[in-house]
Amino acid sequence: MNSGRGDLQHVAAGGLARHIPVLRVEVLKALAPEAGGIYLDATFGAGGYSAAILATPDTKVLALDRDPRAVAAGFDLVDAAGGRLTLVEARFSELESAARAQGIASFDGIVFDIGVSSMQIDEAERGFSFRQEGPLDMRMSGQGQSAADLVNEADEAVLADIFYYFGEERAARRIAKAIIAARAEAPITTTAQLATLIARVLPVRPGAIHPATRSFQALRIAVNDELGELVAGLSAAEHLLKPGGRLVVVAFHSLEDRIVKQFFAARSGRGEAKSRPLPGEPRKPAPSFSLTGKQPIEATPAEVAENPRARSAKLRFAIRTEAPAQPLDPALVSLARLPQKQTRRGG
Known binding residues for S-adenosyl-L-methionine: 47-49, 65, 92, 113, 120
What does the alpha-carbon distance between residue 39 and residue 81 come to, in Å, rounded to a whole number? 14
The dihedral through the CA atoms of 99, 100, 101, 103 has a sign that is positive
Angle at 78 between CA 73 and CA 82, to 5 degrees: 160
Grouping H, G, I as helix, E, B as strand and the rest as coil, residue 247 is: strand
What does the alpha-carbon distance between residue 246 and residue 236 come to, in Å, rounded to a whole number? 13
Contacting residues for 264 by C-beta, under 8 A, at least 6 apart: 270, 289, 291, 316, 318
User: Torsions phi, psi of 68, nearest 5?
Assistant: -60, -25
Binding site listing: 47-49, 65, 92, 113, 120
Q: How many CB atoms lie within 10 A of CB 106?
A: 14
**CA torsion angle 182 183 187 192 (round to 10):** 40
